[in-house]
């Protein structure tokens, strides 16, 4: 028996048409040419918010899910519009239009590194640092810094002498504090220029040495003060290093003053290189460009911080989504029914019947789904942390990744109860790899259950896959995972095919009613009550 079983098929090659004209996109394209993610001007006749949204966002509500966009081309570098979750609906419409224009007008978006590629490194850095930071829960604990080599050696030997539980706790504590200090050090650099300018004011202009190199935006006092600061901070002071760090620290300072926030906590080398390569004579300043990124991506980074911290503490249910205001406005789900972590049996009786009938057979390593602790088990092939719920219009939600997803990547668990019964429900059921084995999705709901559904022979960029997993105790269990069928760009909608026509009809009923999938109202909606 294979350890995995696919549910549903791939794309039939259907495509969707982009509704906007070149003339309508030209203004947005001008903003895009400078990497701006928050400016767009609407041209042409006035449209309602709903019309703008459906017209300019890929896979609009009036398009069938079976008629998706084509595969991204080289000119489609950014993907679908991320939504500023703190803005009102009108601003979200403008953002959506802009990023559709991004796909057409910005093949490289300020080479050598695109905004998307830079922001993905920041997302990954945010996840890694907060995962380590969240492993230790005592926020009041302070770990003194050891500067003496012998003290460092003694401290490590002391940890090794602890019992297992105490030693692991000490290691988690060290890593957590280390991650917090890493974040602090990155953010501190946004204040360095403020310190340097204070030093420049203390210098006597008459005693300043002659400056080297061509004239630039820095005064002689600032250059001397920056060089002195670099020596005190332990940085190399070659001409190239001085020039580089002056510009970087001044840029970070200006970004912070302008309102850039989350990006500064999780800066990466790729971000710094982008800043260094940014043309100083461009139509848009570097600060304005990065500020536009932060306005778009900042709320998503904030959400990611919370999700990763929960996961690192062992909570994989994703229940924090229910507390997001824009989700609560569109979706009413009892917290007890929301579970993105695992698929449990509906009853001990059906589980026992399955084991007595066929049981779990051995599966090879490449057929196993991994451990229940999916973040640890799957590494970067696990993109579940980066799957988000976004407001689609005033009543709906869409499921999208915030980073690039590759074919085969794990996006999470499809919520539902495992059944071993002949009473298969065609509306809510997902058939399994064994006779009478199926997933009952009428009992639970999770983030991925809210993804768009196309007809059984329609388009999909993900599949549902039954996998054998082993929990931390070594016991086998079934998991219905969501795996990518192809590359999915950031903020591109995630879509699966319906397992049966009845299932598609049910999802369409919710779509047509302008509602999010709701277990409690499905019966009345389907029967027109």
CA dihedral 36→287→303→142, nearest 10 degrees, is: 160
Per-residue model confidence (pLDDT) at position 19: 35
Positive/negative CA dihedral, 261, 179, 380, 302: negative
Answer yes or no: is 290 within a domain: no
Per-residue model confidence (pLDDT) at position 380: 57
If one counts the domains in the chain, the total is: 3
Let me know whether 265 and 355 are in one domain: no
- Indicate the residue among 65, 95, 110 that finishes a domain: 110
Let me know whether 267 and 340 are in one domain: no
Q: Could you identify the residue written with the tokens 């080599």? A: 149
Q: Domain limits at 32?
A: 22-110
CB 381 within 8 A of CB 434: no
Let me know whether 99 and 124 are in one domain: no
Answer yes or no: is 254 within a domain: yes
- Indicate the residue among 277, 301, 329 that finishes a domain: 277
Cα–Cα dist 406/227, whole Å: 45
Per-residue model confidence (pLDDT) at position 453: 95
Cα–Cα dist 419/441, whole Å: 10
The CATH number given to whatever domain includes residue 323 is 2.170.270.10
Let me know whether 91 and 211 are in one domain: no
- Taking 70 as the pLDDT cut, the residues of the chain under it are 1-113, 137-144, 359-380, 518-529
Nearest C-alpha neighbor of 308 from the set 498, 179, 429, 480: 179
- Indicate the residue among 87, 110, 133 that finishes a domain: 110
Neighbours of 38 (CB within 10 A): 19
Answer yes or no: is 219 within a domain: yes
Per-residue model confidence (pLDDT) at position 33: 34
Cα–Cα dist 424/430, whole Å: 9
Answer yes or no: is 297 within a domain: no
Answer yes or no: is 300 within a domain: no
Let me know whether 374 and 513 are in one domain: yes
Q: SS3 for 58?
A: coil
Let me know whether 224 and 123 are in one domain: yes
Per-residue model confidence (pLDDT) at position 469: 86
Residues 434-476 have pLDDT tens digits of 899 999 999 899 999 999 999 999 999 999 999 988 877 778 8
Residues 347-391 have pLDDT tens digits of 999 999 998 887 666 544 444 444 444 443 344 578 999 999 999
List the beta strands (DSSP E) in 71-112: none
Cα–Cα dist 162/462, whole Å: 46
Let me know whether 487 and 391 are in one domain: yes
Residue 323, token pair as written in the block: 């507390």
Answer yes or no: is 303 within a domain: no
């Amino acid at each position: 028996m294979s350890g995995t079983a696919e549910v549903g098929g791939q794309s039939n090659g259907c495509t969707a048409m982009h509704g906007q004209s070149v003339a309508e996109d030209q203004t947005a394209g001008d903003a895009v040419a400078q990497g701006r993610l928050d400016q767009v001007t609407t041209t042409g006749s006035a449209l309602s918010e709903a019309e703008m949204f459906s017209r300019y966002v890929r896979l609009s509500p009036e398009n069938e899910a079976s008629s998706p966009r084509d595969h991204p081309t080289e000119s489609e570098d950014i993907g679908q519009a991320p939504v500023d979750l703190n803005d009102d609906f009108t601003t979200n419409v403008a953002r959506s239009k802009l990023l559709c224009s991004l796909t057409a007008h910005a093949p490289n978006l300020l080479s050598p590194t695109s905004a998307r590629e830079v922001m993905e490194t920041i997302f990954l850095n945010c996840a890694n640092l907060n995962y380590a930071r969240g492993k230790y829960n005592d926020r009041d604990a302070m770990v003194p810094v050891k500067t003496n080599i012998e003290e460092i050696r003694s401290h490590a030997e002391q940890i090794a002498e602890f019992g297992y539980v105490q030693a692991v706790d000490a290691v988690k504590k060290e890593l957590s504090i280390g991650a917090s200090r890493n974040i602090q050090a990155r953010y501190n650099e946004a204040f360095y220029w403020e310190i340097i300018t204070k030093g420049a004011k203390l210098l006597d202009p008459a005693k300043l040495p002659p400056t080297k190199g061509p004239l630039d935006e820095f005064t002689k006092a600032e250059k001397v003060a920056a060089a002195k600061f670099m020596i005190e901070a332990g940085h190399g002071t070659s001409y190239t290093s001085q020039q580089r760090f002056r510009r970087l620290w001044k840029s970070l300072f200006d970004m912070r003053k302008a309102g850039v926030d989350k990006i500064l906590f999780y800066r990466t080398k790729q971000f710094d290189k982008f800043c260094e390569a940014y043309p100083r004579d461009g139509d848009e300043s570097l600060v304005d460009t990065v500020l536009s990124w932060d306005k778009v991506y900042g709320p998503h980074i904030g959400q990611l911080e919370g999700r990763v911290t929960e996961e690192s503490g062992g909570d994989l249910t994703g229940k924090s989504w229910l507390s997001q205001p824009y989700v609560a406005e569109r979706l009413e789900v009892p917290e007890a029914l929301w579970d993105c972590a695992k698929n449990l049996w509906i009853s001990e009786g059906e589980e026992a019947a399955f084991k007595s009938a066929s049981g779990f057979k051995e599966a090879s390593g490449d057929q196993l789904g991994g451990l229940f602790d999916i973040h640890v088990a799957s590494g970067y092939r696990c993109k579940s942390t980066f799957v988000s719920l976004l407001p689609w219009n005033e009543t709906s939600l869409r499921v999208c990744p915030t980073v690039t997803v590759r074919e085969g990547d794990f996006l999470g668990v499809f919520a539902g109860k495992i059944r071993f019964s002949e009473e298969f429900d065609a509306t809510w059921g997902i058939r399994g790899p064994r006779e009478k084995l199926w997933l009952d999705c009428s009992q639970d709901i999770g983030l991925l259950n809210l993804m768009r559904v196309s007809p059984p022979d329609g388009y999909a960029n993900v599949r549902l896959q039954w996998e054998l997993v082993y929990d931390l105790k070594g016991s086998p269990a079934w998991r219905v995972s969501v795996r990518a069928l192809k590359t999915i760009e950031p903020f591109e909608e995630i879509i699966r095919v319906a397992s049966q026509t009845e299932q598609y009809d049910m999802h369409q009923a919710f779509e047509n009613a302008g509602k999010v999938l709701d277990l409690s109202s499905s019966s009345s909606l389907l029967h027109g009550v």
